[in-house]
Structure formats: C-alpha cells, structure tokens
Amino acid sequence: MSLLRHGRELGRFCRLSAIRKPSCNHFVKRTVIHGPEKPNEYTDVAEYPKIETFKSEDEKEFQSLADQMKRLKTVEEKQWYLNKPKYYGWYSCVIKGAKLKPDSQDFVQFATNTVVMDNQLPEVYKSLEELAENEAQRLQPLVKKLIVRLEKQYQTTFEVEPDTIAFQERHHQSHLAHRPTREKIQRNVYQLHRLILSHLATRHSHLKDVMTAEDARVEAFWFRAGYHPDPKMVAKRKGVLKKQQEKKYPPEWTYGGGDEDAVEKKYDRALQYLGTNLVQLKSTSGLPAYPEVPNDQIPELPNWNYSVQQSG
C-alpha cells in the first residue's frame, strides 16, 4: 500500500513539473536532476601554472629560426632559408659600374671598406714585372698590325652609312646617330684578347685551361654599417615614434627608448653592385687579393658615411 501511495505522489509531482508559460505556446520543463559532483579542487602535490620559455612571440620565432639554421648543413641552404622572408630582397642602393662618377672614390672606398696603397703590390706581382715586360715587347708588333687591320681594312655593318636622304626620307639613321662606339670597342677588345691569349698560352701552360667570358655579368651584395639615414628613413622613424607616443607606450617599448635623437641614428645600409666586363677570365690558379701590410701602415679610410642618394 505504501508503494502505491508513493507512486501516486511521484506522478502528481511530475505533472506539476510541466508548467504552461503564459506568454508562449509551449511548455518549459524543469528538471530536478543536479549535475555531477564537483571534483576535489585540492591535491596532495602543488600544481603550478606552466612557465613560458619565451617572453614574446617574436622571441619564440627567432629561436625557431635559429634552431632551423642549425639543422641545415650547407651554406647555400642557410642563405636561402635566411633570405626566405625577404622574398623580394632588401631596399638597396644599386651601384652600377657604368655610372660611377669620377669623384666617387671616397664613396666607393667607404662602401667597400678598402684603401688605396701606391707602389705596394704583393711580391708575386713584383716578381712577374720583368716577365710581363718581355712578353709585351714580343707581342707589340703583332698588336700594332692587328689594330691597323681592324681600323683600316674592316668595316662593320653599324659603320656603313645608309643610302637614305637625311631629313627627307623616313627611317633614316646616320652612323653618327647610332651608337657604334661601344660595339667597335667590343670588337677590338675581343680580337686583341684572342691574339694575346693565343700567343701567351704557348709559353705558359696554365693559360690553356682558362675560360673566357664576354660581357660577363658581375653582381655583389653586402651590408655596410655607419651610414646616416636618408630623409625617407628619418620621416618613417618619426612617424613610428609619434604613433607610439600617442598610444602612450612605455619608454622601453618605443623606438629608441623614446629619445627623439634616435631618429638620426646611423644604420646598416644594403648595397648592391651591378656591372659587366668586356672580357673576364676564369682560372683555377688564383692570386693574392691584397698585400700583407701591418695595421699601423694601412692608410686611413675616408669617412664618407653620408646618405648614398647624395652620391648620384
């Protein structure tokens, strides 16, 4: 009897649990079942939050790059991976060999970190002076004959005067308006080089394996420290510092520590050289690149650290 009574009370409770909401046409059910028991928040051993190895994401990315560079084996792979973020390269000053001004020696010396030393050649060059003088005397008649033949007996296409009338017929181009100078120089240099190399190779065996490259492209890229920033760089630095100050960044987070004089700070400049050589020899027999001179006897380097745009 008590079991039946208990079942009736349970059914009555369930019917009362479904209450019709006056503002809606559906029923809202209420449950009497609670969630699971909360786990014990206390442990026998203290559990501390994880301590990050790096202070910021930039530091983490830099360490990842350093680890990846260590895993690479060859220099080419390291250079390629290091320049990978700079897919289009750096904002560089391009130096073209054909456009260097006569008064740019100080700029070139500072950019390449080289000095000029007169009459102080390496011993290997001094020992070859007598041999070079003898070879020059031997080849002098042959060179003169070749130059005369090139100038008097040959006429190339770019030197032929067209048969059209100037200022009267269309498409008239005078040989003076053409650019035969460089082509003529190239032709003469190639012929002279062929003559000299063929005669020297018969007496000096190492010249037989020399490879000759005509109009060889020469490129170089490097960074040079100590340059003053150009107006564009100064304006960029001022803009960054102004924005950081407007957002009230801490001094240690702002450019140059918040110092306004930091916008004039010197920086490393990316330099690139592009040029061509009429004749370039490639040989396995290398020569010393510079003489061994004590540091106290090396001349002082010109301090030409101005903006590279000012050199033309």
Among 123-137, 219-233, 282-296, where is mean pLDDT lowest? 282-296
Task: Give Cβ neighbours of residue 277 (< 8 Å, ≥ 6 apart).
Answer: 213, 215, 216, 218
307 pLDDT above the threshold of 90: no
Final residue before a domain boundary, out of 89, 107, 137:
89
Q: Which pLDDT tens digit goes with each residue over 89-103?
A: 778 888 898 888 888
Please indicate, yes or no, if residue 23 is contained in any of the structural domains.
no
Gap between the Cα atoms of 287 and 212, Å rounded: 17
> Vertex 241, ends 237 and 245: CA angle to 5°?
170
- 252 in a domain, yes or no? no
Nearest to 197, CA basis, from 187, 184, 210: 210
70 in a structural domain = yes
Lowest mean pLDDT among 77-81, 207-211, 214-218: 77-81
Answer whether residue 77 shows pLDDT above 80.
yes
Domain endpoint, select from 146, 178, 209: 209
pLDDT at residue 69 tops 50: yes
Is residue 160 in some structural domain?
yes
**Mean pLDDT for the chain?**
78
pLDDT over threshold 60, residue 28: no
Would residue 152 count as lying in a domain? yes
233-246: per-residue pLDDT in tens?
889 888 988 888 88
Tokens of 11: 């059914």
Please check whether residues 203 and 130 belong to one and the same domain.
yes
pLDDT attached to residue 18: 45
pLDDT at 146 over 70: yes
- Domain total of the chain: 2
Residue 142 shares a structural domain with residue 202? yes
Q: Is residue 284 part of a domain?
A: no
Residues 73 and 140 placed together within one structural domain of the fold: no
> Domain boundary residue among 155, 186, 209?
209
Q: How far apart are CA 14 and CA 3, in angstroms?
A: 17
Q: Residue 143: inside a domain, yes or no?
A: yes
The answer as to whether 32 is a domain residue is no
- For residue 73, what are the domain limits? 56-89
Same domain for 197 and 130, yes or no, is: yes
Q: How far apart are CA 249 and CA 244, in angstroms?
A: 6
Q: How far apart are CA 135 and CA 204, in angstroms?
A: 11
Over the stretch 152-191, which tens digit does the pLDDT of each residue have? 777 666 667 667 777 777 766 655 555 567 778 888 899 9
pLDDT digits (tens, 9 = 90+) for 260-298: 788 888 888 889 899 988 898 888 777 766 667 777 777
Residues 144 and 72 grouped into a single domain: no
